[in-house]
Homo-oligomer: A and B are copies of this chain.
Amino acid sequence: MKPSVYLGIDLGGTSIKMGLVDQLGNILHTLEGPTPAGYHQVLAVFSQMAEQILQKSHYAWDDIIGVGVGVPAFLDQQRGIVIEAVNLGWDQVPLKEDLEKLWTVPIIVENDANAAALGEMWNGAGKGASHLICLTLGTGIGGGVIIHGDIYHGANGSAGEVGHITVKHQGGRRCNCGRMGCLETEASATAIVLDALAQMKGMSTGPLKEEYDRTGTLTAKSVVQLAQQGDTICKEIMTKVGSVLGNTLAQMCYLLNPEIIVIGGGVALAGQILFDPLIQAFNHAILPRIAENTSIVPAKLGNQAGLTGAAWLVHRNKVITMRNKNKETTV
């Protein structure tokens, strides 16, 4: 008999990632597919993908201890209800209940940034740490706060919503949230592109202009590449982004004094060109005593952090259940 495993799902606005994860956090098999429009369509795709991954991996439902799902949403984690998922167009859907009907195994749902944080803690850059702040730098900026080895939800599940911390009190860009100068408008992939487009105005030549003329667009990835190739303007953009992040992380450390800060998402792949100014700004803004036990590291699991963390949620509940059973039988 095979050792039992977990099924982790990372539901994104554009793709669904699903994986079988063993009890040490290692991914055994994965599958990825596009996210369809509509709630019931997503459930149908979940179902097909799960059957496919089981077949491919020669596992059966009896081997699955439970399913964890990371959702880009504001949710009632206890009841498993998605309260609002803007990118999916979902509003008040009983995801946990519907999946339990579908699969008859325990289901746990969690915010996607929180799931990614848990994945990095379990088997990624935060392995071994109990107190973490994790940032995901993508189109927006998501965050997860881990305290005593578990995700921290706060009063209504909003803990870790760091993308909306105000970092530019004057002259900041307008955020999707309606406010100005959020971290997300100043240090995300979107911010990098907007910075580059602003710099390009009135530019008649240079690598940035050439890239734009050649491809008809600019992406954060191309700005990062040009910066890595030595383009001064793109380097300045990355320095600004790194500085904003480093300074903001320092402010968070005064409040939370984490052991480790894990930075993931597409923008984090920029490497040194982002991390050098980030660490410099962080060290400038923090008291050495506060940060003596804090390290800042890039994420390790890439786009598999979310499904790994989703699987961890099931793992945690299994461990708690076993611990309680042991107490009952051994005392």
> What is the interface of chain A, defined by CB distance below 8 A to chain B?
74, 131, 133, 143, 145, 147-148, 152-162, 164-166, 169, 177, 179, 247, 250-259, 285, 287, 289-290, 292-294, 327-328, 331
What residues of B have a CB within 8 angstroms of the CB of A287 in the complex? 161, 164, 177, 179
Q: What are 19 A-B residue pairs whose CB atoms fall within 8 Å in the complex?
A: A145-B256, A148-B148, A154-B256, A154-B258, A155-B258, A156-B289, A156-B293, A158-B254, A158-B289, A160-B255, A161-B254, A161-B290, A162-B255, A164-B254, A165-B254, A179-B285, A252-B255, A255-B255, A255-B256
Tell me the smallest distance from the CB of A185 to a CB of chain B, in Å: 14
What residues of B have a CB within 8 angstroms of the CB of A294 in the complex? 155
What residues of B have a CB within 8 angstroms of the CB of A147 in the complex? 147, 152
Tell me the smallest distance from the CB of A95 to a CB of chain B, in Å: 19
Query: Judging by beta carbons under 8 Å apart, are B251 and A159 in contact?
Result: no
Query: Judging by beta carbons under 8 Å apart, are A166 and B250 in contact?
Result: yes
How far is A251 from B256 in the complex, measured between Cα atoms in Å? Answer: 13
Query: Judging by beta carbons under 8 Å apart, are B293 and A155 in contact?
Result: yes
What residues of B have a CB within 8 angstroms of the CB of A164 in the complex? 254, 287, 290
Tell me the smallest distance from the CB of A75 to a CB of chain B, in Å: 12
What residues of B have a CB within 8 angstroms of the CB of A154 in the complex? 131, 256-258
What residues of B have a CB within 8 angstroms of the CB of A255 in the complex? 133, 143, 145, 159-162, 165, 252, 255-256
Tell me the smallest distance from the CB of A153 to a CB of chain B, in Å: 7
What residues of B have a CB within 8 angstroms of the CB of A252 in the complex? 255
Query: Judging by beta carbons under 8 Å apart, are B331 and A166 in contact?
Result: no
Most buried by B among A143, A164, A169: A164
How far is A250 from B287 in the complex, measured between Cα atoms in Å? Answer: 22
What residues of B have a CB within 8 angstroms of the CB of A259 in the complex? 155
Tell me the smallest distance from the CB of A65 to a CB of chain B, in Å: 25
Query: Judging by beta carbons under 8 Å apart, are A159 and B331 in contact?
Result: no
Most buried by B among A289, A292, A331: A289
Query: Judging by beta carbons under 8 Å apart, are A161 and B74 in contact?
Result: no
How far is A157 from B257 in the complex, measured between Cα atoms in Å? Answer: 8
Tell me the smallest distance from the CB of A326 to a CB of chain B, in Å: 11
Beyond known contacts A155-B294, A162-B255: 20 more, CB 8 A cutoff = A147-B152, A154-B256, A155-B293, A156-B293, A158-B253, A158-B254, A158-B257, A158-B290, A159-B255, A159-B257, A160-B255, A161-B254, A165-B255, A169-B247, A179-B285, A179-B287, A251-B251, A255-B255, A255-B256, A327-B331
Query: Judging by beta carbons under 8 Å apart, are A131 and B160 in contact?
Result: no
From B251, B253, B289, A74 is in contact (CB under 8 Å) with B289
Tell me the smallest distance from the CB of A253 to a CB of chain B, in Å: 8
How far is A192 from B259 in the complex, measured between Cα atoms in Å? Answer: 35
